Structure 1
Amino acid sequence: MTSENVIETDGLTKEFKGFRAVNNVRLKVRRGTIHALIGPNGAGKTTCFNLITKFLQPTTGRILYNGRDITASRPHEIARMGLVRSFQISAVFPHLSVLENVRVALQRTLGTAYHFWKPERSVEVLDDRAMDLLEQVGVQSYAKLPAVELPYGRKRALEIATTLALDPEMLLLDEPMAGMGREDIKRISDLIQRVAKDRTVLMVEHNLSVVADLSDRITVLARGEILAEGSYAEVSKDPAVVEAYMGTGHG
C-alpha cells in the first residue's frame, strides 16, 4: 500500500443474502485528486460508497486510509481521522440559522459539540470562522436565515460548509448534484473544484457531464465489479463501458 493513495480497497466484497452487490473491488484513490465512482443502475456504486464510509461492513476484503486498516472502524471514528462524508452529517438542524448550523459543526473541533445550554457568548468566538466558511461556499448572505428556508442548491452548499468545518483531509460526496437545476449544478461544481484544491475527493455522481468536467480519474462499476478505470476520455471510449450504459440506460 503506497502513500500516494489516500484510500485503497483490497478485495472489497459485500453480499446480501447470497446476492453479491460488490465483488472483489480493488480501488485506489490518489491523494489530491477528484475521483468519481460511476456506473449504470444496480452497478454497486452506493454499496461500495457505503462500505468505504463505514455505513456498511464488508463481507470480505480490506479498506485502508493513509495505509491504516479502517475495515472495522465506525463512521464517527473515520470522521475524526479526516475522512468525512458530506450530506450525511450536514444540515441536520433545519430550524437553526445557516450560521448556527456551521457553528455547531465547528463546536466539534472544540470538544463542546451540542452543548446548547452553554452561554451564547461561549460559542460566539466561532462566528468569524463560521462566516468565513459561509463565504467560501457562497451563502454568507443567508447567514441569519433558518436552514429549512434555503433554496435547494444553497442548502447543498451549506452542507459542504458544515463538512469543511470538520477540516477533512478527504471529502466523500454522495450524488452532490442530485435534484439540481443547471445553475445550481454549475455553482456546486465550481465549489467542489475550489474545496478540492487542498483535499482529496471521492464522489458518486450520475451526471456524466459533471463527472467529465470535475474528475481526474473515474472508476466504472457494473454488476458489482470494476469495469474500467482512467480519465473520462479513456473510459467513455471503452466498448465495455459503452455497452454497459447503452444496455441499461444510465442513472
Structure 2
Amino acid sequence: MSAQPTIKDSRPTSRVMIETRQLAMEFSGFRAVDAVDLQVMEGSIHALIGPNGAGKTTCFNLITKFLTPTAGQIFFDGHEITRLDPADIARRGLVRSFQISAVFPGLSAVQNVCVALQSRTRRIFQFWKSDRSLADLEAEADAILEQVGLVEFRNVNAALLPYGRKRALELATTLALAPRVLLLDEPMAGMSAADVERVSQLIMRIRKGRTILMVEHNLPVVAALCDRITVLARGRVLAEGDYSAVSSNPEVQEAYIGSDHD
C-alpha cells in the first residue's frame, strides 16, 4: 500500500452525517457484513476499502438502501433510515453515483442535467415535446456543467463523450439532485491515468458543502483524496484512520498481500 498522499483541502466537522451501528448482512448463512460500526463526518471524504470479498460493496449497498440489513441500524444526519427505501433517502439528500455510467446516451450533456433537475423538482420529462420545455432549467444546468468542466461539451450527445467526460456528466446529473451526501461507487473504475487525475480534481472541486463516501480500489487516489479510511476484511472493520495510519497497520498490510482490490 505505497503511495504519496497529497495535501487535501479538508473541512470535516464533528457532525456525524452517516452512521452504522452493528450493521450486518447475511446471505444463506454467510455474513458478508458483520457488526460494522461506521461514522462518516460532515464535510469529509471517507473511503471504504478492502481486498476482494471484504464486504465493502455489500456495506455500500446497505447504506444506500439497495439492500436491507439482516441486523443493525443506519442513521443519516441523526435520523434512522434503516427501513427506508432508496427514493426516500435520496429525497433527504443522500444520493448515489453508480460504478457504471448511468446517463441517457441519446441526449446532450445539458439535456441530461436538465432531466436530473426535473427529477429533483418532480416535474415530468416528456421526450416527445420540444426542447423548449427544458429551456427554463438550462441556466442551472449550465452552472452545474461548469462545476464539472463540461461547458464546452454541453451540446454533445452523451454517447459521443470520452469515457472520463461521461463519468463527469454522471457526477453532474448527481449534483443536480442537490445531494448533501454523495456516495461514489468506484468513481475511477476503467479510467486512464489522465482521466483519473481529471476526476480526482473534480471530486476535490465538488466537495465544498458536501460529504462524500466512496468505495474505491485505486489506493493512490484514496491517499490523495480521503480524510478518513475504513478498511474492511471478511465483512468486519479491520482498521480505520487516515491513510498513513491504515497503510502502516500490519493487519492491513497482511490483508492486502497477494490480493486484488475490487
Under TM normalisation by the shorter chain, which class is it?
Answer: over 0.9
Task: Show CA shifts across 1:38-90 (max 9, x none).
Answer: 00011001000000000011000000001111001111111100000013796
Displacement, 1:3? 7.2
Q: Is the contact made by 1:91 and 1:158 (CA closer than 8 Å) also made in structure 2?
A: no
Displacement, 1:238? 0.3
Displacement, 1:108? 1.9
Q: 2:220 is matched with which residue: 209, 214, 217? A: 209
- Superposed, 1:1-251 pairs within 5 Å as 4-87=15-98, 91-117=102-128, 120-251=131-262
Q: Is the contact made by 1:91 and 1:162 (CA closer than 8 Å) also made in structure 2?
A: no
TM-score by structure 2 length?
A: 0.91
Query: Partners in 2 of 1:51 and 1:110 — Cα distance?
Result: 26
TM-score by structure 1 length?
A: 0.95
Task: Show CA shifts across 1:138-190 (max 9, x none).
Answer: 11111111111110000000000000001100000000000001110001000
Alignment: residue pair count: 250
Of 122-131 and 178-187, deviating more is 122-131
Going from structure 1 to structure 2, the CA distance change for 1:89 and 1:246 (only over 3 Å counts) comes to closer
Going from structure 1 to structure 2, the CA distance change for 1:250 and 1:110 (only over 3 Å counts) comes to closer
Query: Partners in 2 of 1:189 and 1:239 — Cα distance?
Result: 28
Task: Name the SS for the 1:158 alignment partner.
Answer: helix
Task: Show CA shifts across 1:4-49 (max 9, x none).
Answer: 1000000100000011000000000000000000000110010000
Displacement, 1:120? 3.5
Query: Partners in 2 of 1:89 and 1:169 — Cα distance?
Result: 22
Query: Partners in 2 of 1:38 and 1:234 — Cα distance?
Result: 14
- Flag structure 2 segments of 5+ consecutive residues without an equivalent: 1-12
Task: Name the SS for the 1:197 alignment partner.
Answer: coil
Letter in 2 for 1:114: F
Displacement, 1:198? 1.1
Displacement, 1:119? 5.0
**Identical counterparts, % of pairs:** 62
